Amino acid sequence: MTVVLLDTHPLLWALGRDPRLPEALAERLDADPSRFLVSDATLWEIAIKRSTGKITVPDDLPRIVDDLGFGAAPITRRQTWAVRALPFHHRDPFDRLLISQARDLRIPVVTADAAFSAYEVQVDWPTSPPAS
C-alpha cells in the first residue's frame, strides 16, 4: 500500500466513525494508519473551524492524531509557493495547499471532493464495496 495524504473530511469522519467514510477506507485506516499523512494544513483548517464554532473536536486533537499513528505532512515553503501556479478549479485555500503538497510529494490525496480531480493529482476514494 502506498502512502497517501488524508483530506480533512475523511480524517474527521474516521475519528468520529462517521458512516460517510467508506468501509474499505476505514479498514485501510485501521490496518495501517502510518500510511496516511495528515497535513499541517488540515490541522490548521480544523483549528480555525473549531474556533469559529463550525465543528467540535477535542482540545488535544493533534496528540490524538499522533497517538493513532497517522503520519505527518509538514508544510514546506516550496509547497506554499507552488499554490500560486495552480489554476482556480478550487477556491478553498486549505484544499489548494493539500493539492500542492500531494503534487510535491507525488502521492495521492484521499478525498471525496470531486474538485481535486481537476488538478494533476491522483485522488484515492473508494467507490465500490470491498471484495469479499
User: Following DSSP, what letter does each residue of 83-112 receive, concatenated?
Assistant: GGGS-TT---HHHHHHHHHHHHHT--EE--
Q: Residue 29 domain-assigned?
A: yes
Residue 107's domain spans which residues?
4-118
pLDDT in tens, 7-36: 999 999 999 999 999 999 999 999 999 999
CA dist., res. 118 & res. 106, Å (int): 16
C-beta atoms surrounding 121 within 10 Å: 20
The answer to whether residue 126 is domain-embedded is: no
Sequence length of the chain is 132
pTM metric for this prediction: 0.91
Q: Is residue 114 part of a domain?
A: yes
What pLDDT score does 1 carry?
59
Q: Does residue 127 lie in a domain region?
A: no
Which 8-state DSSP code applies to residue 21? S
The answer to whether residue 99 is domain-embedded is: yes
Contact (CB, 8 A) for 104 and 1: no
How many domains does the chain contain in total? 1
CATH of the domain at 83: 3.40.50.1010
